[in-house]
Structure 1
């Protein structure tokens, strides 16, 4: 359940970036959003602390 919240936030941010941004800025924003969510889920607050 803890991993669901950042994924939902990521989906919302990706949708906003997709509609608002254009070109390389859109690509950079999407990479940053996905990287931040992956870091949070796997290292910051998700599976790394599950044990």
Structure 2
């Protein structure tokens, strides 16, 4: 159960950092990359 929440918590922390630090298109690319990586991690682990 905990292994499903850990990547989500890490992603939220990374999203907050990216939101505060980055600007413009770089922010968008970073947010999409973080969300894609977490989706692959979660669904890859669950499959």
Instruction: Say whether the fold is shared (TM-score over 0.5).
Output: yes
* Runs of 4 or more above 4 Å deviation: none
RMSD between aligned residues: 0.6
Size of the aligned set, in residue pairs, is 46
SS in 2 for 1:3: helix
Unmatched runs of 5 consecutive residues or more in structure 1? none
TM-score by length of structure 1 reads 0.87
- Equivalent position of 1:8 in the other structure: 9
User: Which one has the largest radius of gyration?
Assistant: 1
More helix by share: 2
Which whole-Å CA distance do the structure 2 matches of 1:40 and 1:32 have between them? 12
- Equivalent position of 1:42 in the other structure: 43
